[in-house]
Chain A
Amino acid sequence: MLSLSEPALPGECIRAEKAWKIYDTAKGPVEAVAGVSFSVRRGEFVAILGPSGCGKSTLLMMCGGLEAITAGRISVDGAPIACPRTSIGVMFQESTLLPWKSVLDNVMFPIELLHRPRREHMARARELLSLVGLSGFESHKPHQLSGGMRQRAAICRALVYDPDILLMDEPFSALDAITRDEMNDALLDIWTRYTKTALFVTHSIREAVYLADRVLVMNRRPATIVADIAIPIPRPRDPSVGETKLFNELCSTLRGMIEHSHRAARDVTPYA
C-alpha cells in the first residue's frame, strides 16, 4: 500500500458563494462565471458539466487559486482561496509533461519543486506508475508514449505529493473514446483507493455520470450552475454500469437540461 493520507473526514471542502469572473475585453465586460454557488463535501467526486465555452474551466481554475475571483468568494478547507495551495492538485486538458524529462522524473517534478524528500517519494512515484499500468515506462520520454499513457503519468504527477483535493480540467477530452473509457476506469480505481475530494470538469454527459457522485450542470448564458443532480449509482462502478436503465435515464435527464439551457440562451442572444 502507498503511504498516502487517510481518506478524508466528511465535511465541507470547497464552497463557492456567488463567485463571479468578469473579463474586460475590447467589446466590453464578459461574464465568464456569473454568480456561481455550490459546495463539495470532503471525499466527494463532483463533476461540472457544461457546453464548451460556458466558463466551467475558469470556475475550476478559480477554485485552484489559478484565476482571480472578480466578486464573491470561494473557500477551500474553510479559508478563502487567493493563490495556489499544495493541498490542491491540478490536472489539465493536456498532460503537460516536460518533454526532456523521463516519465519518472516528470512524476517526481512536484517533489523537486516542493523540496520534499526525494527517496521516499521516489518509491511512491514508482508505485503510482505501476498502479496506472506504466511499470517499465519509467525511463521513457513523453514523446514515446501514447496520449492516454501521458495522461496516466499526469495523474501520477498530480497524486505524488498527496494533495487532498484533485481539480481536473477535461483531462481526457483529447483522447479517443476507447482510451477515454480506460482512463475513466483508471481514475475511478485510484480515486476509490484514496478517496480524494475531486472536482472534474467535462463536456461529456456519460463521463460525468460514470465518474461522479454529483453533477453540476453549468449554463452558458448566464454562466452559472442551473442544476445539481445526485448520481445514486452504487460504487464500485465498472463499464457495465453504462448499460443500466438508471445510468441512461440520468444521462437523458442531463441532456435535456443542457439542451434546454442552450435553447434558452439562443432565444436571448440571437447570434449565440
Chain B
Amino acid sequence: MPDATGRERLLTVALPTGTAVAFLAVWQAVATLWAIPAVILPAPSDIVRQLVGSWGELLYQASFTGAEALAACVLSGIVGILVAAMLASSTPLREMLYPNLVAFQLIPKIALAPLFVIWLGIDAPSRLAFSTFISFFPVAIGTLTGLQSTNPNAIRLCQSLTASPSQIFRHVQVPYALPFFFSGMKVAATLSVIGIVVGEFISSKHGLGSYILLAGSRAETARIFAALVVLCVIGLALYGAIAWLELRVRRAWRG
C-alpha cells in the first residue's frame, strides 16, 4: 500500500464523515421543515432523544443480541474452518460436496428460520444454530480458497527442504489462508447479527429484534431507529474485534 500523505489521510476520514453529517443534516431539515409526522420519519434529533431516554432498556436488550451474535460469529468461524479443512484435505470429498454446498447457498436461507424453530425450539440454541447456519459459509469458502491459493512453488520449496506435510501446513498454507479466513469472518460478523435479529423477530421475548417488533406494533418509529443505531454499534464492534484479532494473529503467526 502506498504511504498516504497527511492530507490524503485526512481526506479518507473527512470525506465519509462529512458525507454522513451532511446526510443527517438534510434529513433533519427535511423532517422539520416539511413537518413530516414522527411516526413516518422521525428527525435525527428525535432519535437521539429516544436513544438517551431509553438508554437503559436498549442496553439491556442489546446485551442479549450482542452476546448471541458474538457467539454465532465465533461458532461460524469454527464451523467454517472445520468445513474448509475437511474439503481441503480430501479431493473426493471436495468434489462430492463443494458444488452441492454452493448450490445450497442459492436457497434464501432466511426463509429457513421457521424450520429451526420447529427443530430446536424458540430459545437461544435455536437462534444460534440459525445464525451460524447463515454465517459460516463465507468463512468456509474463504478459508478453502486460501488453503488452495498457496503458491505451489512455496510448497515445492518446502518439499525440497524435506518438510513434513504438517510443517507445510503450518508454515505456508495457514499463513497464506489467514487473510482469506479473516475476510470471510468480516462478512460472517455482519451475517451473524442478521441471523440473531431474524431469530428474535420470530421467537424471542427479549433482544433488539423483539424490541423492534414490539415498537413497530405500537408505531413507535423513533424507538425502532434508536434500536437500529444500537444494532449498528454491535455490528461495528464485532467487525472491529475481528479486525483487531486479525492483526494480532497475523503478527503472531507470520512473525
B interface residues, Cβ below 8 angstroms from A:
151, 153-154, 156-163, 167, 171-172, 175, 250, 254-255
Name which of A83, A86, A110 has the most chain B CB atoms within 10 A of its CB: A110
A interface residues, Cβ below 8 angstroms from B:
64, 66, 83-86, 88-90, 92, 94, 96, 98, 100-101, 105, 109-110, 112-114, 161
Task: Determine how close the nearest CB of chain B comes to the CB of A44; give it in whole angstroms.
Answer: 21
Task: Determine how close the nearest CB of chain A comes to the CB of B50; give it in whole angstroms.
Answer: 47
Residue numbers in A under 8 Å from B161 (CB-CB): 84, 86, 109-110, 113-114, 161
Docked CA distance A84–B163 (Å): 9
Contact B255 A66 (CB under 8 A): no
Docked CA distance A102–B175 (Å): 14
Which residue on chain B has the smallest CB distance to residue A92?
A: B153
Task: Determine how close the nearest CB of chain A comes to the CB of B129; give it in whole angstroms.
Answer: 36
Q: When the two chains form the complex, which single residue of A88, A100, A101, A112 contacts B160, counting CB atoms closer than 8 Å?
A: A88
Residue numbers in A under 8 Å from B162 (CB-CB): 83-86, 113-114
Contact B157 A96 (CB under 8 A): yes
Contact of A98 with B172 at beta-carbon distance under 8 Å, contacts A92-B153, A105-B255, A113-B167 already known: yes
Residue numbers in A under 8 Å from B157 (CB-CB): 90, 92, 96
Q: When the two chains form the complex, which single residue of A86, A96, A100 contacts B175, counting CB atoms closer than 8 Å?
A: A100
Interchain residue pairs A-B with the least CB separation, the first 10:
A100-B254, A90-B160, A96-B153, A113-B163, A113-B161, A84-B160, A96-B157, A110-B161, A84-B162, A94-B153
Residue numbers in A under 8 Å from B156 (CB-CB): 66, 90, 92, 96
Residue numbers in B under 8 Å from A86 (CB-CB): 161-162
Docked CA distance A84–B156 (Å): 10
- 6 further A-B pairs in the complex, CB-CB below 8 A; given A94-B153, A100-B175, A113-B171: A85-B162, A86-B162, A92-B156, A105-B255, A109-B161, A109-B171
Which residue on chain A has the smallest CB distance to residue B250?
A: A100
Docked CA distance A34–B38 (Å): 84
Task: Determine how close the nearest CB of chain B comes to the CB of A262; give it in whole angstroms.
Answer: 29
Docked CA distance A114–B164 (Å): 10
Residue numbers in A under 8 Å from B158 (CB-CB): 113
Contact A64 B160 (CB under 8 A): yes
Docked CA distance A98–B255 (Å): 11
Contact A96 B154 (CB under 8 A): yes
Docked CA distance A86–B162 (Å): 7
Residue numbers in B under 8 Å from A83 (CB-CB): 162
Residue numbers in B under 8 Å from A85 (CB-CB): 162
Which residue on chain A has the smallest CB distance to residue B162?
A: A84
Name which of B157, B254, B255 has the most chain A CB atoms within 10 A of its CB: B157
Which residue on chain B has the smallest CB distance to residue A94?
A: B153
Contact B255 A96 (CB under 8 A): no
Residue numbers in B under 8 Å from A66 (CB-CB): 156, 159-160
Contact A96 B151 (CB under 8 A): yes
Residue numbers in A under 8 Å from B172 (CB-CB): 98
Residue numbers in B under 8 Å from A100 (CB-CB): 175, 250, 254-255
Which residue on chain A has the smallest CB distance to residue B158?
A: A113
Task: Determine how close the nearest CB of chain B comes to the CB of A270; give it in whole angstroms.
Answer: 34
Docked CA distance A90–B172 (Å): 17
Docked CA distance A78–B186 (Å): 55
Docked CA distance A271–B148 (Å): 36
Contact B175 A84 (CB under 8 A): no
Contact A101 B163 (CB under 8 A): no
Task: Determine how close the nearest CB of chain A comes to the CB of B240; give it in whole angstroms.
Answer: 23
Name which of B153, B156, B160, B175 has the most chain A CB atoms within 10 A of its CB: B160
Docked CA distance A89–B159 (Å): 11
Docked CA distance A272–B111 (Å): 59
Task: Determine how close the nearest CB of chain B comes to the CB of A139; give it in whole angstroms.
Answer: 12
Docked CA distance A98–B155 (Å): 11
Docked CA distance A198–B175 (Å): 32
Docked CA distance A60–B170 (Å): 28
Docked CA distance A88–B162 (Å): 10
Q: When the two chains form the complex, which single residue of A84, A98, A109, A110 contacts B159, counting CB atoms closer than 8 Å?
A: A84
Task: Determine how close the nearest CB of chain A comes to the CB of B27; give it in whole angstroms.
Answer: 44
Docked CA distance A101–B162 (Å): 20
Docked CA distance A109–B154 (Å): 11
Docked CA distance A64–B160 (Å): 7
Task: Determine how close the nearest CB of chain A comes to the CB of B157; give it in whole angstroms.
Answer: 5
Contact B250 A112 (CB under 8 A): no
Residue numbers in A under 8 Å from B151 (CB-CB): 96
Docked CA distance A47–B172 (Å): 31
Contact B160 A98 (CB under 8 A): no
Task: Determine how close the nearest CB of chain B comes to the CB of A238; give it in whole angstroms.
Answer: 31
Docked CA distance A112–B163 (Å): 10
